[in-house]
């Protein structure tokens, strides 16, 4: 058995088709005719865009418009004046087109990879796809074709790119196995849209598996079963049928309230990164937006977004949500995100450095511009402001004071906004957990960011394989921190949500019900599953589970018990 990350649920039983990785090696050549080299680059861009448009059309037919936008985003990026201009500048400096493309794409890959935010990091994979596609065209290499795969095929590849995914015939592909990727990568998103079971980040998959051998892909558990016996195949065939039956039953929860078995109601929101994502939230039956990451408005450009640009984005998201709550997280950026035009200095430990609210409070004009844009948009719906990485009461007070300054500026200009807009705190540091009682006295709401809260509480970088065993929201210290934050919010009479990945974890749900969470914010595809899982529990059942968990001393004990409790 091989282990990896379950990125797309379900069971696939079939035979391996190995997709060999293409060599894009080249020897940089001297450029003697800059104009001719620029023309070669521009022709390659045109060909890349034409190819990508065809791929997007194929995806649109097989999955829909939302998934096609992923590939169309590649066209936007390669034609972006900043990226395109920087590549052309290098060519004008007599670098060959291949080297210029590789160098500038690598700059963007490094920028996105350094964020530590999984949603942002997936954009690094998009840039890699653009880079490889452009290099293949410039080098005259034909891209891998997987559209002719026979029925019952399991694709095995080192890295499945969105452009490869466009060639998949979902009637023939029963599973996907890769050596790289995460649950939030665009390839994973497309695999889920295609409803193909996928296990990513399977170490050594390409060398361990052979073309033609029969395997089982368990996308729910993140397992690949090799050389399965007949009884194992029968067992997993039954699991597959059960999974498909349960999936059909999920539709029964569409349009329903999010309510526990004992009648407690909850808000079930979605996490988004762009206004277009709000459309996905609505389509998934989300009841609001629990986290709007605003960093994307500041990336892929060479100047700060204007107040008007931001206002239009926030307004659009609010209008799409038709009056449902939209919680906008102010700019979470700093030394860990290399955005060239901000001139940020490199830091030895950026995740504990000059970022998020710390950066914003030192760059008050930029911060006030964002706050004014959010306030202006609040005239069009139920918009709320959330400050990230709060560690002191002073930070919350300073942020709220700047909100009041922004309000005053808008009043003078006669611009409408919600005078009673709510201002909350993203509790994602150990410090915010310890002083949650103090913060709750001055915040209108809390939202727990379990990804960073786990990392900061455990002093463990989730990207470091050597300490990955520590990075779990089921560590007793993290569970107790979550409980404290929720308790402090409840005692202060303010709502408390969770926008980290743990909010969608079935094992975490009874604990959150027991502790008193009022709002869950999850990815759009998780909405109906979370609603169903909440509906399974009564408050008393959840309390009994939580009481036992709080007595346990190790993460292994907690996980083992919760698996049985489900």
* Strands 519-522 and 496-498, bridge-based pairing: parallel
Q: Could you tell me which residues come within 8 angstroms of residue 218 by beta carbon, excluding any fewer than 6 positions away?
A: 6, 11, 197, 199, 224, 225, 236, 239
Element (H, E) at 3: strand 2-3
Element (H, E) at 6: strand 5-8
Instruction: For the beta carbon of residue 337, count every other beta carbon within 10 angstroms.
Output: 23
DSSP state of 524: G
Q: Which of 96, 105, 186, 270 is catalytic?
A: 186
Start-to-end CA span in the chain (Å): 24
DSSP state of 290: E
d(CA 131, CA 407): 44
d(CA 545, CA 510): 7
d(CA 480, CA 401): 32
d(CA 201, CA 468): 14
445 φψ region: left (φ > 0), alpha (ψ -120 to 50), beta (else): beta
CB 528 within 8 A of CB 257: no
CB 146 within 8 A of CB 167: yes
74 is catalytic: no
* Strands 2-3 and 223-226, bridge-based pairing: antiparallel
d(CA 265, CA 282): 19
476-479: long-range pairs with CB below 8 Å, 24+: 476/552, 476/553, 476/554, 476/555, 476/558, 478/450, 478/453, 478/454, 479/511, 479/549, 479/550, 479/558
Q: 425 pairs with which residues across the strands?
A: 387, 446
Instruction: For the beta carbon of residue 244, count every other beta carbon within 10 angstroms.
Output: 13
d(CA 320, CA 300): 24
Q: Is 174 exposed, middle or buried (0-12, 13-18, 19+ CB in 10 A)?
A: buried
Distance, CA of 91 to chain centre: 34
d(CA 368, CA 350): 24
Residue identified by tokens 């995914």 is: 165
Element (H, E) at 383: strand 383-387
d(CA 563, CA 175): 25
CB 11 within 8 A of CB 215: no
CB 190 within 8 A of CB 58: no
Gyration radius from the chain CA atoms: 24
Q: Which residues are identified as catalytic?
A: 186, 499
């Amino acid at each position: 058995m091989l282990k990896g990350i379950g990125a797309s649920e379900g069971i696939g039983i079939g035979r391996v088709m190995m997709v060999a990785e293409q060599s894009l090696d080249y020897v940089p050549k001297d450029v003697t005719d800059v104009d001719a080299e620029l023309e070669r680059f521009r022709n390659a861009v045109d060909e890349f865009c034409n190819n990508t448009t065809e791929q997007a059309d194929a995806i649109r037919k097989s999955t829909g418009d939302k998934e096609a936008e992923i590939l169309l985003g590649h066209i936007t990026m390669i034609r972006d004046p900043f990226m395109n201009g920087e590549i052309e500048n290098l060519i004008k400096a007599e670098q060959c087109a291949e080297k210029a493309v590789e160098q500038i794409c690598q700059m963007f890959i490094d920028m996105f990879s350094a964020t530590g935010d999984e949603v942002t990091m997936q954009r690094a994979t998009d840039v890699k796809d653009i880079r490889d596609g452009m290099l293949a065209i410039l080098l005259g290499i034909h891209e891998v074709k997987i559209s002719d795969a026979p029925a019952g095929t399991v694709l095995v590849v080192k890295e499945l790119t969105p452009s490869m995914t466009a060639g998949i015939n979902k009637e023939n592909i029963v599973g996907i196995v890769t050596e790289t990727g995460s649950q939030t990568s665009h390839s994973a998103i497309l695999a889920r849209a295609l409803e193909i079971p996928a296990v990513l980040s399977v170490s050594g998959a390409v060398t361990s598996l052979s073309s033609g051998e029969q395997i089982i892909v368990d996308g729910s558990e993140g397992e690949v079963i090799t050389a399965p016996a007949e009884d194992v195949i029968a067992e997993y065939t039954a699991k597959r049928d059960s999974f498909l039956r349960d999936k059909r039953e999920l539709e029964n929860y569409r349009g329903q309230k999010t309510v526990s078995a004992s009648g407690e109601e909850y808000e079930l929101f979605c996490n988004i990164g762009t206004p277009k994502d709000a459309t996905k939230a609505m389509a998934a039956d989300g009841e609001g937006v629990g986290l709007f990451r605003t960093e994307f408005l500041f990336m892929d450009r060479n100047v700060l977004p204007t107040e008007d640009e931001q206002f239009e984005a926030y307004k659009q998201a609010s209008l799409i949500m038709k009056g449902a709550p939209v919680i906008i997280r102010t700019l979470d950026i700093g030394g860990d995100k290399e955005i060239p035009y901000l001139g940020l200095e490199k830091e030895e430990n950026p995740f504990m450095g000059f970022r998020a609210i710390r950066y914003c409070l030192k760059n008050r004009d930029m911060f006030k511009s964002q706050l004014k844009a959010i306030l202006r948009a609040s005239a069009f719906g139920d918009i709320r402001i959330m400050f990230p990485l709060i560690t002191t009461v002073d930070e919350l007070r300073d942020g709220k004071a700047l909100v009041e300054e922004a309000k005053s500026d808008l009043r003078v200009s006669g611009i409408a906004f919600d005078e009673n807009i709510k201002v909350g705190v993203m509790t994602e540091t150990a410090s915010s957990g310890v002083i949650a009682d103090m913060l709750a006295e001055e915040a209108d709401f809390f939202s727990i960011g379990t990804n960073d809260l786990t990392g900061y509480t455990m002093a463990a970088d989730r990207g470091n394989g050597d300490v990955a065993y520590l990075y779990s929201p089921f560590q007793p210290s993290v569970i107790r921190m979550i409980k404290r934050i929720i308790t402090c919010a409840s005692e202060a009479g303010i709502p408390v949500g969770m926008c980290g990945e743990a909010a969608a974890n079935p094992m975490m749900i009874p604990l959150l019900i027991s502790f008193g969470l009022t709002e869950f914010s999850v990815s759009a595809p998780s909405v109906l599953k979370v609603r169903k899982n909440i509906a399974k529990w009564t408050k008393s059942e959840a309390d009994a589970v939580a009481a036992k968990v709080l007595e346990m001393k190790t993460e292994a004990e907690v996980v083992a018990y919760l698996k049985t409790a489900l």
